[in-house]
Amino acid sequence: MDATNVYEKVFASKNPMLAWPGDPSDRTVSSMQNGLAKYAPGVDMTVRNTATHVASDEMTAQQALERLATLSLLAGWIDELEGPI
């Protein structure tokens, strides 16, 4: 299973392995859970995959910082999640 599939499974809307804290029926909690279910695989496909699979182009310092900020944001949200993992 690749990382994109792992993210999709971990943040699934129904029975997620990791969940945003709070009442799942709360609009903000639901939005965060659904957003993470889309954001995490999207980050993996657009930031991580392009950095590892496209070796011909070097990133500028600005591009690298933007990608690092994107990954940092995801990591910060993951730190706030609750679950058995």
pLDDT band at residue 2 using 50, 70 and 90 as cut-offs: confident
pTM value > 0.95: no
Q: Is residue 54 part of a domain?
A: yes
Rounded Cα–Cα distance for residues 4 and 40 (Å): 8
7 part of a folded domain:
yes
The percentage of the chain sitting over the pLDDT mark of 70, rounded to a whole number, equals: 89
Number of domains in the chain: 1
**Residue 85 domain-assigned?**
no
Check pLDDT > 60 for residue 85.
Answer: no
60 lies in a domain? yes
**85 vs 50, higher pLDDT:** 50
pLDDT tens per residue, range 51-63:
666 666 788 899 8
Print the domain residue range for 71: 3-80
Residue 75 lies in a domain: yes
Q: Which two tokens stand for residue 8?
A: 């999709």
In-domain check, residue 31: yes
